Amino acid sequence: MKFMPHDYQTYCISYIKTHPVSALFLDMGLGKTVITLTALNDLILDELKVSKVLIIGPLRVARDTWASEIKKWDHLKHLDASVMLGTEKQRIAALDTKAFIYVINRENIKWLIEYYEMKKLRWDFDCVVIDELSSFKNHKSQRFRWLRKIRPFVKRWIGLTGTPTSNGLMDLWAEIGILDGGQRLGRYIGRFRDAYFKASSMNPQTGIVYKYVPRPGADKQIYNKISDITISMKAVDHLNMPDCIFVNHEVEMNTPERRFYDLLKTELIIPLEGGDIDASNAGSLSNKLLQMSNGAVYDEIKNVRQVHQRKLEKLEDLIEAANGQPVLVAYWFKHDRDRIISYLTAAGYRMNGMSGMNGAEDEPDIRDLKTSEDIEAWNAGKVPIALIHPMSAGHGLNIQAGGHILIWFGLTWSLELYQQTNARLWRQGQREVVTIHHIITKNTVDADVLAALASKDVTQEKLIAAVKAQIWS
């Protein structure tokens, strides 16, 4: 295909080329892959400023996206990519293959750096691209620590994400620091935290801080610090995006079910024959209550204890209301998936692999979206009900052709996974109005999750607005 860049894409390409360190907060669907590859093509073949590139991304994206994107566009025909995945033998073979670009999944960063050290090789990647920079927000993670080791030996860094502060501004220290070596926000997380944040909740006896909030004016100070290397763009500003409607559906537990929920909330334990349901700390309690809101909970020996069917009943109502249109259902806990399948099959729907009335395997009504074949079937409109987990739907799936209705059976605290999952349907190429349903159990932790997502989104939107690219045609 011939690449005819939009004005915003031309702007981003130029930005990468003129900034040795660049962080691009690009909304889903804006074409960050072709933007980055076009800039790298110019830097490698025209300007001779880069000779060997390492691209780090989520496994599925590393496997399927970057190399195929190079083959897709005419102007990238002189680039070549070697994908370092699979067994160690396969990764070494890919590393030994001569190419301009090498792609690896983020879980194998440690292996790659250790391999260079073991072989006493000089680190020869002079440009590193981090696809989904937000996955490096945890400064304690192994991937962050290992990548930081080779930071001084790389002259050009490119970070890409659409969700830079899914947990708040604290995320930026690691994300920006891995790109610029701590030049803007400091080399130490403690000093950054002391300078821009204050404790909002802590244990007065141990001094352990549970939550930090920005000091007055700290957000603007942070924006100013990173503005010289950072730009943001929203898809709605540059693409013909479909409308998106959010709808909340409240269900309510009956009195015994509510009493069961409240008992765990107040006592932190429910004694049961065969295994108690207990919560050892605030995090565990939140997790257990979220499960109970969905309708079931794991006890101490991982048995599933049923609480209610209210969400399952509402899910069936929403599927029926779709009147045959394909529905994507997002779940969080494994028992949610199992109960959804059990409930819907009892109602007459067929799961993938079930036999029909004549003993033959009929086309299923319900299907997990996991494999390439599953995704192909969904996009062809052959899957009435698709089940998907946000952690597998988060990045790299193009499934907007298969439907326009998403139902959140159970919510996640992660703004990044929530937004990325929504963006699987709400993106360029979608031909219908997208409807996103939340099934909410009344007066439970579900409401807290929705409020937390909204609060995190406000923080992120302020950052996006502060570093928004100004383009004049």
**DSSP readout, 107-132?**
GGHHHHHHHHHHTT------EEEEES
Cβ(285)–Cβ(276) below 8 Å? no
When mean pLDDT is compared over 55-64, 262-271, 303-312, 354-363, the highest value belongs to 303-312
Nearest-CA neighbor of 315 among 294, 290, 284?
294
**Separation of first and last alpha carbons in the chain:** 24
Q: Are strands 385-388 and 434-441 parallel, antiparallel or unpaired?
A: unpaired
User: Model-level pTM?
Assistant: 0.79
Other CB atoms within 10 A of residue 450 CB? 17
Give yes or no for a contact between 436 and 245, defined as CB atoms under 8 angstroms apart. yes
* Digit-coded pLDDT (tens) for 187-246: 999 999 999 999 888 787 787 888 889 999 999 999 999 999 999 998 888 877 888 999
Rounded to an integer, what distance in angstroms lies between the CA atom of residue 219 and that of residue 63? 37
How many C-alpha atoms does 142 have within 13 Å on its Cβ side?
A: 9
Q: Residue 293: is its pLDDT beyond 90? A: yes
- Between strands 197-202 and 209-214, the pairing is antiparallel
Average pLDDT over residues 42-63: 94
Q: Residue 395 has what pLDDT?
A: 53
Same fold, 7-236 and 240-251+308-442: yes
- Average pLDDT on 388-398 reads 74
Which tokens is 3 given? 């690449």
pLDDT of residue 355 exceeding 80: no
Cα-Cα-Cα-Cα torsion 403, 408, 409, 410, nearest 10 degrees, comes to 150
Measure the CA–CA gap between 441 and 253, rounded to whole angstroms.
7
**159 neighbors 232 (Cβ within 8 angstroms):** no
Domain 240-251+308-442: give its CATH architecture.
Answer: 3-Layer(aba) Sandwich (3.40)
Q: How confident is the model at residue 56 (pLDDT cuts 50, 70, 90)?
A: very high
Whether 295 shows a pLDDT value over 50: the answer reads yes
Q: Where are the domains of the chain?
A: 7-236, 240-251+308-442, 254-307
Got the DSSP string for 269-282?
A: EE--TTS-EE-SSH
| pLDDT exceeds 60 at position 407 | yes
Class of domain 7-236: alpha beta
CB contact at 8 A, 33 and 69: yes
